[in-house]
Amino acid sequence: MTDTWSQRWSRRGKLAASGSTASRVPPPGMISFVFGDPDVPSLPLEDMAQAAEYLAEHNRRDALAYQNAIQGDELNASLAEKLARDQGIHVSPEQIFVSHGASAGLSLLCDMVLDPGDVVLADAPAWMGATNMFRLAGAEVIGVPLDDDGVDPARVEAVLDDLARQGRKPKFFYTIPTFQNPKGVELSLERRQALAKLADERELLIVEDDAYVDLRFSGEPKPTLFSLSQGGNVIFSGTLSKTIAAGLRLGYLVGPADVMATMARGAVDTLRNTYTAALADWYLRSGKLEAHIVELREIYREKCERMLAALEREMPEGTSWTRPNGGFFIWLTLPEGVDAVELLPAAREAGVDYIPGTAFYSDGSGRGNLRLSYSGVTLEQIDEGIARLAKVTRAALAKAEAPAD
């Protein structure tokens, strides 16, 4: 990058320029556990072709025309039916804002509510895509630690009290309560109830990211924070990327109708992708999604169990990991003395890739952790990739335990 462009960047541009973007296509021979990508062979290509044929046969030229981002159209109505059926969220179509993927909806929310210097609370560790957005908006991100039952509402309240003593209040708390990214854990029912109550009592806005809520393959479903809140203090973020197709780029936010309408007016692009919205609407109305989700749950259950078995078989003593009931991710804790950041070059040289835990913290924590995604790799790649990871981990552990000269 030239010095001239370095001088042109805004504060946000300078933050973006300091980062990098990894390729989603690994080099030949590399087994990548990096990205939480859907299982490609399961993508419903034939169903999407059938949806396209339907639009053509029924002269749906409106699917190729301009359409405002929020009109209460067919897709909004179909999403409202799905939310009521699957998540116990009862809203009108006007309470749903459809975006170009869930990330675009979250980015718009940042644009609409965050000013430089604002405070945002987030899970710790948290999905770095979200925390990067918050920092690009100029916000200070304060992490609230997670355990195996998710975030502790008492810890959230303690942070609120500490900020109140400073005369500050967070704009919102960002959390993934179900199959959290990166840890794979889920918020317990008791904590969901307590967190929703806390949000109502303290007028704390919660941004509930439930990208993986449909992908439960074990355990009992739990109510959303949105459905538990009595004061309208939760914005629900959903996506069709994990269940239909990421390439459709369709996500959605759910909240009060006037708030969603304001969000739509504030978007840089006030128009929606009408064609992919029409494809998704046909898919939801056809009844095919329910059967497809059943298939996906089985696919990800098998992959998760395969990775858990490989970890149990291959990894050295002192290693531990989470055991998710759904979603895409396992959070690994390395043996004492092994650093995930320092281990990464050796792992890549051995042909396996992952994301060190430091990427998911705002304070540099997580050097002893790493995230593994099982969703986009084959069963055979899981076996081989974990074997490679175990080999370099054992070598690093032996070096750490060797007596100093």
pLDDT of residue 78: 94
pLDDT of residue 68: 66
Distance CA 91, CA 174 (A): 21
Helix (H) or strand (E) holding 84: helix 74-87
- Look at residues 116, 149, 110 and name the one whose alpha carbon lies nearest to residue 131: 110
249 alpha carbon, distance to own chain's centre: 14
Phi/psi at 65 (nearest 5 deg)? Answer: -105, 175
pLDDT of residue 113: 95
Q: Looking at the predicted structure, is the pLDDT value of residue 273 above 70?
A: yes
> 134: Cβ–Cβ under 8 A, 6 or more apart, which residues?
110, 114, 120, 122, 141, 174
- Classified as helix, coil or strand, 191 is helix
Structure letter (DSSP) for residue 216: B
Phi/psi at 268 (nearest 5 deg)? Answer: -60, -45
Helix (H) or strand (E) holding 241: none
Distance CA 152, CA 154 (A): 5
* pTM attached to this predicted model: 0.93
pLDDT of residue 8: 85
* Beta strand pairing call for 352-353 and 31-32: parallel
pLDDT of residue 274: 85
Q: Where are the alpha helices (DSSP H) in 98-245?
A: 102-113, 128-136, 153-165, 189-202, 225-228
Domains and CATH numbers, the chain: 25-43+291-398 (3.90.1150.10), 45-286 (3.40.640.10)
> 146: Cβ–Cβ under 8 A, 6 or more apart, which residues?
123, 124, 125, 180, 183, 185
- Could you identify the residue written with the tokens 């704390």? 204
326-377 residue pLDDT tens: 999 999 999 999 999 999 999 999 999 999 999 999 888 999 999 999 999 9
11-64 residue pLDDT tens: 778 777 776 666 777 888 999 999 999 999 999 999 999 988 988 888 888 777
Distance CA 97, CA 106 (A): 11
Distance CA 160, CA 238 (A): 26
